[in-house]
């Protein structure tokens, strides 16, 4: 499995932003194409420019963008500045705070907002907003102020933020011990066979496309970490289904990966192929209808609707619920209208 380590320390006045070790089965592939599969938001032009500037090293030697990657090559991307995600800048961005006290706050994040800075998203993130509005937030194990958990950029919904170390430790333990409650609502492609069920499948980084995760099973299951999602059908809408997903674990892209594994990719989930018409008819009118749905909901159809946890100070269990956002609601209404007027 390819090794992937972002954000290493610097040496010789250069800062290592990424390092990869090519797999033993790696076929010869230009390094600019290779890195596009591994670095989020990277364009081929940017990679070629980095190579031209001598920023891409293979086995400690700078290479040009036409270098062909071979098995076991150690590839490092170095720049003269530290990774931007390590340089946090407070930004006056308004937050939708649904609850706040001296120990924590609960935020309803809108779709499109990145939770923490990373490659290609160095400003406008939730953390940039948090460190502007709040002083002395505790760092989590990844040195990210206040963050107990995260949701993807294009997923909307509820997050709890810790204001002090004690709260951070207490809440992190609840998430680890699976005593917190997290329910998401999703629109998925296809008419699900079962009304409810549980998906268990170890999740890890996809060996070929490092921007995706995938389910590993059988002899390969140790390549992933255990992940459990409980789902329940809320409404059947012909070629798509509205589902509730409760997380027992919190792996990266867990619902998106588990649903795809089940054969029900999230509606308009571009990273996992849900932006294609995966179910339905070949009629032009239907194609136009789906494309209109994509325009209304230009992101994966996923919302973190309910969040529950025990308050670290009071010991009281708190549950927060949020409305399904407008874009998702409009998409659901369009499908309801479609089903009502069509012979499925």
Question: Are the C-beta atoms of 279 and 240 separated by less than 8 Å?
Answer: yes
57, β-bridge pairs? 62, 76
183, β-bridge pairs? 246, 306
Cβ burial, residue 334 (10 Å; 0-12/13-18/19+): middle
Q: Which two tokens stand for residue 261?
A: 């594994």
Which residues, other chains included, contact 335 with Cβ-Cβ below 8 Å and sequence gap of 6+?
Answer: 187, 237, 238, 240, 293
Among 32, 152, 154, 269, the active-site one is: 152
Secondary structure letter of residue 118 according to DSSP: B
DSSP 179-225: -SEEEEEEEEES--SSSEEEEE-EEEE-SS-TTSEEEE-GGGGGGSB
| pLDDT confidence of residue 12 | 39
3 assigned to active site: no
| pLDDT confidence of residue 342 | 80
C-alpha–C-alpha distance, residues 340 and 309, integer Å: 39
C-alpha–C-alpha distance, residues 295 and 308, integer Å: 32
| pLDDT confidence of residue 60 | 87
pLDDT digits (tens, 9 = 90+) for 236-282: 999 999 999 999 999 999 999 999 999 999 999 999 999 999 999 98
Question: Are the C-beta atoms of 207 and 220 separated by less than 8 Å?
Answer: no
Question: Are the C-beta atoms of 195 and 244 separated by less than 8 Å?
Answer: no
Three-state SS at 168: helix
Three-state SS at 20: strand
DSSP 262-294: TT-PBTT-GGGTTTS--SS---HHHHHHHHHHH
Which residues, other chains included, contact 314 with Cβ-Cβ below 8 Å and sequence gap of 6+?
Answer: none
| pLDDT confidence of residue 78 | 77
C-alpha–C-alpha distance, residues 95 and 109, integer Å: 8
Q: Which two tokens stand for residue 101?
A: 């006290």
- DSSP H helices in 6-156: 31-36, 44-52, 126-133
Locus of tokens 């989930």: 269
How would you classify residue 32: left for phi > 0, otherwise alpha for psi between -120 and 50, otherwise beta? alpha
Give the chain's radius of gyration (CA, Å). 22
pLDDT digits (tens, 9 = 90+) for 129-164: 999 999 999 988 877 899 999 999 999 999 999 999
| pLDDT confidence of residue 20 | 87
Please give the sequence-ordered ranges of beta strands (E in DSSP) within 46-133, or none if there are none: 56-58, 61-62, 68-69, 74-79, 97-100, 104-109
What sign has the CA pseudo-torsion 292, 294, 297, 298? Answer: negative
CB atoms within 10 A of CB 142: 10
| pLDDT confidence of residue 82 | 55
C-alpha–C-alpha distance, residues 344 and 341, integer Å: 9
For the chain, which residues score pLDDT lower than 50?
Answer: 1-13, 344
- Using CA atoms, how far residue 243 sits from 51, 239, 332, in Å, is 45, 13, 11
Q: Which two tokens stand for residue 107?
A: 């935020």
């Amino acid at each position: 499995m390819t090794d992937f380590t972002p954000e290493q320390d610097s040496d010789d006045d250069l800062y290592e932003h990424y390092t990869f070790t090519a797999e033993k089965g790696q076929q010869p592939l230009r390094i600019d194409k290779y890195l596009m599969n591994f670095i989020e938001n990277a364009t081929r032009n940017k990679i070629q420019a980095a190579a031209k500037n001598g920023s891409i090293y293979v086995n400690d030697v700078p290479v040009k963008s036409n270098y062909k990657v071979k098995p076991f090559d150690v590839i490092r991307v170095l720049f003269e500045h530290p990774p931007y995600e390590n340089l946090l800048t407070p930004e006056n961005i308004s937050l939708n705070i649904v609850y706040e006290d001296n120990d924590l706050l609960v935020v309803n994040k809108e779709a499109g907002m990145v939770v923490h800075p990373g490659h290609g998203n160095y400003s406008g993130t939730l953390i940039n907003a948090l460190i502007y509005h709040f002083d002395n937030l505790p760092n989590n194990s990844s040195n990210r102020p206040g963050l107990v958990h995260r949701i993807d950029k294009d997923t909307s919904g509820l997050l709890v933020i810790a204001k002090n170390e004690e709260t951070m430790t207490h809440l992190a333990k609840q998430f680890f011990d699976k005593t917190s409650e997290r329910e998401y609502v999703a629109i998925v492609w296809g008419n699900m066979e079962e009304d409810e069920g549980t998906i268990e499948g170890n999740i890890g980084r996809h060996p070929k496309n490092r921007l995706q995760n995938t389910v590993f099973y059988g002899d390969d299951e140790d390549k992933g970490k255990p992940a459990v999602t409980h789902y329940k059908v809320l409404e059947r809408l012909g070629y798509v289904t509205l589902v509730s997903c409760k997380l027992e674990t919190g792996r990266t892209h867990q619902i998106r990966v588990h649903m795809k594994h089940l054969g029900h990719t999230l509606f308009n989930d571009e990273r996992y192929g849900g932006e294609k018409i995966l179910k339905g008819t070949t009629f032009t009118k239907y194609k136009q209808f789906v494309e209109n749905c994509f325009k209304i909901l230009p992101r994966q159809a996923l919302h973190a609707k309910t969040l529950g946890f025990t308050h670290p100070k009071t010991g009281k269990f708190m549950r927060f619920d949020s409305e399904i956002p407008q874009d998702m609601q409009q998409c659901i209404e369009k499908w309801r209208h479609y089903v009502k007027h069509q012979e499925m």
